[in-house]
């Protein structure tokens, strides 16, 4: 048996495959053209949706979410249209999308989690740009919220980029959501001092500070007693953005007026 006779079936198969590929080439090129056009339409649709919702007076994060969803829907539609032009059935397309989705899901699990968490955070809106929040070990002012992460300024010259999935899966404290904030300043009153007089003096100092609110007003509460004196807490309310400044001013004022060291006479 000659070698050519052995290879003849394989050559016939290759010839048939090449002939089929050449015959299907126009459909493939047309399908790729349709897919390219669908990408362009998806980008345009995302931009138009974002702009339209913004002009309607809706919030920026909602416009971003709707724009991304519109982009994804148009991409899926364009993929199905391109497959139909190529002669691929809708069932095969859906099956391929399902398998591809599983592969992408396993490969980009963290990215997808952050993306979905970002969308949920934008829809639920537990905080917005400019809010002071605390989540995990981080506390600071929100500078930016995207579909992947949230950036906060910790107030000490550092920017922290936190994945949205981490924020969504753990406790979140919005320190400025209500506009006002209660602060606690721990103090120690010596055993020799008059507690009632000291309470009146400290509450008067706090009440005179322009950053401290009068309703509810400041109050001094005793929390513990030891051999050296009484541990107390000054609790006061201020606007959320004034909390740190008010605390610092009160520390200085109380130190200066009540706890300043007495210089013995010469």
Give the tokens for residue 134. Answer: 């605390």
Contact assessment for residue 111 and residue 60, using Cβ atoms and an 8 Å cutoff: no
- Mean pLDDT value across residues 151-158: 87
Query: What's the rounded Cα separation, in Å, for the pair 213 and 258?
Result: 22
CATH class of the domain defined by 125-174:
mainly beta
What confidence score (pLDDT) does residue 65 get? 65
What are the residue boundaries of the structural domains of the chain, listed by start?
Answer: 10-107, 125-174, 180-257
CATH class of the domain defined by 180-257:
alpha beta
Give the tokens for residue 102. Answer: 């599983």
Q: What is the DSSP string of 199-264?
A: HHHHHHHHHH-TTB-SSSPPEEEEEEEETTEEEEEEEEEEEGGGHHHHHHHHHHHHHHHTSPPPPP
Fold of 10-107: Helix Hairpins (1.10.287)
Residue 2 pLDDT class (50, 70, 90 cuts): low
How does 39-63 read in b/e, with b if 16+ C-beta sit within 10 Å? beebeebbeebbeebeeeeeeebbb
pTM over the 0.75 mark: no
Q: What is the pLDDT of residues 17-37, one digit of tens each?
A: 667 656 556 776 777 777 788
Q: What is the pLDDT of residues 38-76, one digit of tens each?
A: 778 777 877 777 677 666 555 555 666 666 667 777 777
């Amino acid at each position: 048996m000659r070698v050519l006779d052995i290879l003849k079936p394989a050559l016939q198969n290759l010839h048939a495959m090449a002939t089929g590929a050449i015959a299907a080439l126009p459909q493939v090129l047309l399908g790729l053209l349709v897919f390219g056009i669908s990408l362009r339409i998806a980008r345009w649709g995302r931009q138009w949706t974002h702009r339209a919702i913004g002009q309607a007076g809706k919030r920026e994060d909602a416009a971003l979410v709707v724009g991304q969803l519109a982009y994804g829907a148009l991409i899926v539609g364009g993929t199905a249209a391109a497959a139909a032009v190529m002669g691929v059935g809708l069932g095969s397309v859906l099956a391929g999308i399902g398998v591809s989705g599983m592969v992408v899901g396993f490969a980009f699990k963290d990215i997808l989690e952050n993306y979905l968490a970002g969308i949920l955070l934008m829809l639920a809106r537990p905080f917005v740009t400019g809010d002071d929040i605390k989540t995990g070990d981080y506390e600071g002012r929100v500078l930016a919220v995207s579909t992947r992460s949230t950036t906060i300024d910790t107030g000490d010259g550092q920017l922290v980029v936190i994945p949205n999935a981490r924020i969504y899966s753990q406790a979140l404290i919005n320190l400025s959501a209500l506009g006002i904030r209660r602060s606690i300043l721990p103090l120690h009153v010596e055993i020799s001092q008059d507690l009632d007089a000291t309470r009146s003096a400290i509450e008067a100092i706090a009440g005179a500070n322009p950053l401290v609110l009068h309703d509810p007003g400041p109050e001094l509460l005793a929390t513990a007693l030891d051999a050296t004196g009484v541990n107390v807490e000054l609790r006061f309310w201020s606007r959320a953005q004034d909390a740190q400044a008010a605390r610092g001013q009160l520390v200085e004022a109380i130190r200066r007026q009540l706890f300043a060291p007495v210089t013995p006479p010469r």
